[in-house]
Every structure is written in C-alpha cells, then in structure tokens.
Structure 1
Amino acid sequence: MAEVSASARPVTLPVIDPGPPERGDAARNRGRILEAARRLVAERGAEAVTTDDIAAAAGVGKGTLFRRFGSRAGLMIVLLDDDERAHQHALLFGPPPLGPGAPPLDRLLAYGRARLSFVDSHFALLSDVGRDPQTRFNAPNTLHHSHIRVLLEAADTTGDLDAQAAALLALLDADYVHHQTSERGRTLEDLGDAWEAVARKLCGT
C-alpha cells in the first residue's frame, strides 16, 4: 500500500517564520548562536544549558537569540534538524526493511528499533523539545505518527489506528526511554523487544 502524502518526504522542524533571507550581522549571529549551542550541549547536555549560557558563549544578547529562534525549544529543534531529516529519509526512502520494499510488519519492527536508537542518542534535545507544548507536537512528530499508522493499515490492523499509532509512539518517547534505561536498567534491545511484542499483537501475529 502506498504511503500517504504526509509521509512522502522528510520534513524540517519549523521554528518561526524565517522571513526574508538573512544578511550580514544577522546571519553571522545565527551561526554563532548555533555553534555555541552545539558546543555547550555536547559538553554539558541540553538540560544543563540555558539561553543565558548560549547567548554569552555566542557573544550576543538574549533578545537576538529569541528573535531568531522564538524560544529555547525552538533553538533545540534547529539543532536536531539535520539528524532528524536523515533519519526520516532512511525510513521513507532507504533500503528495506526500514525503507520501502519489505512487508509492512517487518518495516514497523525495523522502525521501532531504529527510532529507539535515535531517541537514545538524541535524548537531551528531544526531551527538551518535548517539554514545550508549542513544539511537542511538531511536524516531525506528526510524520512519525503518520508513518506508524500507514504501516499498521498496510498490515491489515483493525480498530482505531490513530490510537494504536499513538500508543506505539509513546513507547519511543525520549523521557520514557531514558527512564527505562537509566532507572530501570533496561537495554535498548529490551525496549525493542517490547516494541515488537506490542506491534505484533496489534497486527494480529
């Protein structure tokens, strides 16, 4: 079954209206802010980095940061953008079983394990974005929900597919995954097995 148009291509993570192309100081400030944010997040983790820290490291005022990115979460989204688009490209256009060409259940199982790995390696940024109600249900989140729903439908799953897709997506929530691995001692393989068990049950296998 062909995937719906919402899953037809990787999507960017919108922050604010970009307005006209940046020039001169504005473009340089944006680059300095992103460079400083990446460096500080790599050094400390996103949860330990404040907008004051980023603005100071970039040599700009906080007002400049907020004018360009809208919010702290908006800045975190931009940091995620390149990796998120590469991940989306792999699941929509890459080789099977993650990409097209494999049976829908095989793709669903491959997706769950691949997304768990992505969430684990990007936990701090995903968790930070997820705390902001304006960015939690952003375009990539919608795409992932749609992708799961389409695979469930292609696997002839019955019932409320939106609810089932939301339930599977909840097992990939950054804070949930981090809690399971850091507090309960579960591995990504354990969580992948749990994802597979739920997915198979929903698909009737």
Structure 2
Amino acid sequence: MSTEPSVERTLFDLHARPERRDAARNRELLLDAAHRLVDRDGVESVTMDAVAAEAGVGKGTVFRRFGSRAGLMTALLDHTEARWQGQVISGPPPLGPGAPPLERLLAFGASRLDRTVASADLMVAAAGHHGRSGPAVAFWTVHVRHLLTELGVTGDLPLLAMALLAPLDVSIVRQQLDSGVGRERILAAWADLVERVVAGC
C-alpha cells in the first residue's frame, strides 16, 4: 500500500481547523498581500502595518487573524509550503506523480533546494534559526521514504530519509552559499548521494 499522502490530505490539511468562508477569504487576502510584500521588498518589509495597508484593511484585522508578526510569518510559510506540497502530490511529473521514482526523488531534491534558496529568509523568520516546521519536515520525510520504498531501498528508511534531507536544510544550504558553493554544485552532490544510496540497495 502506498504511504504517500493524497492530494486532499497534506499534513497542513490534516492540522487545519475548518474556517468560515468569509474568514478563509480574508485569510487569503492577507496572505496574498504578505506574499506581494515579500516578493517586492523582502521579508523585512512584512510588518502588520504594511500587510494591512497592502490588503486595504485595518491593522486590527491583521492582529485578530494572526496575533503577532511571528504568527503572520508562520502562516505565510505554511501557506507557501502547502502550495508546494500540492505540487509534490498532484502536480505534473517529475515532481508530481507519473515519473519513475528515482526521477521523482531527484526532482524533489532540486525543487526543495530551490525553495530553500528562494525562501530562506522567510523560513528563518517564521521558524527560527533552523528554518523549518515539524509538519513540513514530517511531510518531506514521508515522501522521501515512500520513494525509497518504491526504489527497493532497504534498511532504516525513516532515518535514511532524514539523512537524505539533511543536506537540503536551510542552515546548511545558507552556510554553503555564503562560503561560495553554488546551487548547481550543491544539487550535484545531493544527486550523487541519492544515486549512491539507491545503488547500494
């Protein structure tokens, strides 16, 4: 039986509370405004005042919805993560279903690395210095473990999946980029690691 989550049941779906339609609409309005600020001016530009002005609402609305800037940043990270998870479990191949498992695993690594590079500041602002959330890591681990199983890899798959995810961690990626190691080199080393693990199964 497949262990991969269905498109309707990502980890963020499973932990989400049902919202009234108007509340969900307001939440999307505010998060879309925050996304625009990040894209245009960077993470530091995202304040409660700035989001309220961008969305055309009162600052009190933003505070009632998210509680604090930290709450807003966490919601923003979860929002982008949920969108990305949807691509993993229902988007086009090779990231989504339909490609061979090794091709999917390599596409996963490339996409995860690109998200880390593009969203590192947001990850750190939302989740602290480690830049990751528990539900997100759990999803990545389940997905990688699922693909390793399809590839016939044996052993302690939960820990092996975590070992493969470690080089894509935001703290490690940022350190490498800061020391002059480029994205292509990071990805090539990760792909080499994956292929060695699969060949050793």
Amino acid in the other structure paired with 2:116:
V
Alpha-carbon distance change, 8 to 39 in structure 1, aligned in 2, over 3 angstroms: closer
The Cα RMSD (Å) is 3.4
Q: Deviations over 1:10-49 (max 9, x none)?
A: 63747874654546xx976x57754653344334422564
Structure 1 counterpart of 2:171, from 161, 172, 175? 175
Alpha-carbon distance change, 71 to 198 in structure 1, aligned in 2, over 3 angstroms: farther
Normalized against structure 1, the TM-score is what?
Answer: 0.73
The equivalent residue for 1:200 is 195
Amino acid in the other structure paired with 2:187:
G
Alpha-carbon distance change, 149 to 98 in structure 1, aligned in 2, over 3 angstroms: same
Shift of 1:113: 0.9
Give the secondary-structure state (helix, strand or coil) at the position aligned to 2:199.
coil
Contact residue 16 and residue 70 of structure 1 kept, 8 A: no
Q: Partners of 2:147 and 2:28 in 1: how far apart?
A: 39
Amino acid in the other structure paired with 1:131:
G
Matched, 1:184 2:167: no
**How do 1:156-175 residues align onto structure 2 when only pairs under 5 Å count?**
156-175=152-171
Shift of 1:66: 4.2
Q: Deviations over 1:61-82 (max 9, x none)?
A: 4xx5443124434322433455
Alpha-carbon distance change, 168 to 67 in structure 1, aligned in 2, over 3 angstroms: farther
The equivalent residue for 1:37 is 34
Identity of aligned residues (%): 39
Q: Deviations over 1:131-169 (max 9, x none)?
A: 189x7212x332111101111122122221111111222
Out of 74-83 and 110-119, give the one that drifted further: 74-83
Amino acid in the other structure paired with 1:179:
Q
Matched, 1:8 2:3: no
The equivalent residue for 2:89 is 92
Q: Partners of 1:95 and 1:39 in 2: how far apart?
A: 25
Contact residue 37 and residue 51 of structure 2 kept, 8 A: yes
Corresponding residue pairs, total: 195
Alpha-carbon distance change, 12 to 52 in structure 1, aligned in 2, over 3 angstroms: farther
Alpha-carbon distance change, 114 to 27 in structure 1, aligned in 2, over 3 angstroms: closer
Matched, 1:130 2:152: no
Runs of 4+ in 1 over 6 A off after TM superposition: none
Q: Partners of 2:49 and 2:118 in 1: how far apart?
A: 25
Contact residue 76 and residue 125 of structure 1 kept, 8 A: yes
Q: Deviations over 1:77-134 (max 9, x none)?
A: 433455434432332233333222333222111210121112212222222222189x
